[in-house]
Amino acid sequence: MERAAALDRIERLLDTIESDTMPVPVREVWLYGDAALGLDPVDRLDVYLTKDILLESDDEAADRFEREYGVKGVGSTVRAEWAEQFPDCLRASENGYAAPEKCLAAHLTDPDEPIHLEVCNAPFGDNVTQRLQGALDRDAYEQVLDPRGACLWTDGERETETIEKLRAGELAFPTLPGALEMLGADEDDARAAAEAVRERREKQDGATVRGDVV
């Protein structure tokens, strides 16, 4: 996408979060990677959502949605109110339970859009650090999350100034290896991780999603 169109698309995604009931409460929205760096055009939009984990339970809704849609956990893993309004966006994990990250992706993106969603209960900065440490410990560089991000939305408030700076190309970030070194990776690991991230992104097509719990 041309950069202006990519940022317009992100603002429409924020509009949807603000106006619609979500499968789970969304606390933060971050734009990271290429779109945050000022590239034009943008190959893919990388978006990070910080969500809350539901603690309530609605047994009546759970029974009904399992009976009608074959999906367990409505009313406990995702809001019953949301599932009532958007049953076409209801998605399940392999074990048959409603998957919040897949439901968010179905609600917020179209299948052919070059958008990747990272969905986690932890804030962006915390997850970046934990993912990097885990990747270094296990030599699983493809698990690294690009730390170069900009917060666009927090607890119902749009970060208008940040969005304006994105549009003007005023945010400055280091290279990915440089950013990873700043977080504690040595030079060789940082370069290997950056290459793994690049290869992973090149394999992605259409709308993709990854869920994580920290």
Q: Tens digit of pLDDT for each residue in 185-213?
A: 999 999 999 999 999 988 999 999 999 88
Q: What is the pLDDT of residue 63?
A: 93
pLDDT at 57: 83
In angstroms, the CA 90 to CA 10 distance is 22
**If you average pLDDT over residues 55-81, what whole number do you get?**
91
The pTM for the full model equals 0.94
List CB contacts of 152: < 8 A, sequence separation 6 or more.
Answer: 10, 14, 29, 30, 31, 158, 159, 162, 163
Residues written for the chain: 214
Output the CA–CA distances (angstroms, integers) from residue 84 to 27, 77, 79, 162, in the order listed.
22, 14, 9, 35
How is the chain split into domains, by residue range? 3-47+111-212
Please choose, from the candidates 142, 147, 150, the residue with its C-alpha nearest in 3D space to the C-alpha of residue 198.
Answer: 142
- Mind giving me the DSSP string for 92-147? B-TTSBB-HHHHHHHHH--TTS-EEEEEESS-HHHHHHHHHHHHHHHT-GGG----
Q: What was the pLDDT predicted at 19? A: 97
Give the Cβ contact number of residue 148 at 10 Å.
21
pLDDT (tens digit per residue) in 129-174? 999 999 999 989 989 999 999 999 999 999 999 999 999 989 989 9
| pLDDT band, very low/low/confident/very high, at 54 (cuts 50, 70, 90) | confident
Smallest Cα–Cα separation from 148: which of 100, 190, 104, 187?
A: 190
